[in-house]
Copies of this chain bind each other. A is one copy, B any other.
Amino acid sequence: MYNQQAYALGSKRSTIREIFEYAKTRSAEIGAENVFDFSIGNPSVPAPKEVDECITRLLRETPSVALHGYTSAQGGQDVRAKIAENFSRRFGVPLTAEHLYMTCGAAASLTITLRALANDGDEFLVFTPYFPEYKVFVESVGAKFTAVACDKRTMLPDFQALERALNPQVKGIIVNSPNNPSGVVYGEKTLRALAELLRKKSAEYGKPIFWISDEPYRELIYDDYTAVGCPMGYYDDVIVCYSYSKSLSMPGERIGYIALSPSMKNVRELYASVCGAGRALGYVCAPALFQRVVAECDGLTAALDVYKRNRDLLYNALTEYGFTCVRPDGAFYLFMQSAETSATAFCNRAKLHELLFVPGDDFGCEGYVRIAYCVPTEKIERALPKFRALAKEYGLI
């Protein structure tokens, strides 16, 4: 009676959400301080103080009708010009307001981009491990979703597997670095190799393969990867999908953007398609007040250094206890090998220690678990003895 895909999506709770709900129930039973919930990627640090200051100033200085009124569908001209200017300066790409489209966050950036691109029979690739909603978004525009294996030793793309997966139906590839759930960051070598292969295959097929760069964690890089720059510096047909959710610690406000590479052929036509896709999906404009806020706060970040501290603490301890995982260089996730074949069984065992994290199966990798360490550091400190006990149970230590 209802749309079958929508009903299936809405009636089956995601594993992440299920564990999150369990955490709430369990917290009521034994106290929140005794439950160690590493299930959800919800930022634990406040927005920079400039965000709230900016809102207060805007309320004082801007007439209500202008402040809370409609903006252009693609976002305010001033807002886009300001963000494009910062982007150009930072990444050395001549981006202008005409390449930027403001969105209601990263998910909207992706659904609008996919809708703007996809025609019947198109296929989109992602590398494992991947954010599970990619599958939902790709399939919801009627396109084929294909996961390409990564190199398990590094969690970086397996280029041989990619070459085998590429075919003339592939319209684009969703690339997510820093990665959710593995935390790996693609370095210059990886970006170059990816660009080269995509260029070769685009030429072979006589049509572009779009590189959709999903970058909600762009500002969460802990080591020396910041010089890597933007994929637009490596390849022409790049679409950056960005969100301020993590950089400014305000995921509930739903604000981000789509940026099209200025060196893309027919960039004006794709921009028109993005505008049309936003319209078809019911995105009239991105929230007006927060458009102005991010234009003013673009470049600032919340106090993200806590995540680096957490990363060091957790990664060092877990590997010391005998667990195996690739060292995350960004985002706030750690993708650890399960200590037994079934990741679900391992998660259930961890639950007995009040440690909550999610099996990697939904991320396209069996035998792994995702640990979201965007929690207060003291929580991690108190969780370590429990991880140690878990390692002992499995004879790792």
Contacts and interface: CB of A to CB of B under 8 A. Distances in A.
Interface of A: 1-11, 42-47, 51-52, 55-56, 59, 63-65, 67-71, 104-105, 107-112, 115-119, 133, 136-137, 140-141, 207-208, 249-254, 266, 269-277, 279-290
B2 A273 contact: yes
Nearest to A302: B64
Given A11-B272, A55-B59, A56-B59, A282 B43 contact: no
Given A42-B69, A251-B69, A287-B287, A8 B64 contact: no
B42 A64 contact: no
Interface SS majority for chain A: helix
B3 A118 contact: yes
Given A254-B287, A281-B281, A287-B254, A3 B273 contact: yes
A121 to B, nearest CB: 12
A6 B116 contact: yes
B276 A9 contact: yes
26 contacts: A1-B269, A2-B119, A2-B269, A3-B115, A3-B118, A3-B119, A6-B277, A7-B269, A9-B275, A11-B276, A42-B69, A44-B65, A56-B56, A68-B250, A104-B284, A104-B287, A107-B283, A107-B284, A108-B282, A133-B279, A252-B285, A252-B287, A252-B289, A253-B288, A254-B287, A281-B281
Contacts of A8: 276
B64 A281 contact: no
Given A7-B273, A69-B252, 8 more contacts: A2-B270, A10-B271, A10-B279, A64-B249, A104-B283, A105-B282, A111-B281, A250-B288
A258 to B, nearest CB: 12
A254 B104 contact: yes
A44 B5 CA distance: 41
B10 A272 contact: yes
A202 to B, nearest CB: 12
Contacts of A285: 252, 254
A240 B259 CA distance: 35
B137 A280 contact: yes
A287 B251 CA distance: 9
A51 B65 CA distance: 12
Query: Among A42, A55, A207, A280, which residue has the most Cβ atoms of chain B within 10 A?
Result: A280
A287 B52 contact: no
B55 A69 contact: no
A73 B283 CA distance: 17
Contact of A55 (B46, B55, B251, B275): B55
A133 B278 CA distance: 12
B252 A68 contact: yes
Contacts of A7: 116, 269, 272-273, 276
A3 B252 contact: no
A349 to B, nearest CB: 28
A287 to B, nearest CB: 5
A252 B56 CA distance: 17
Contacts of A46: 63-65
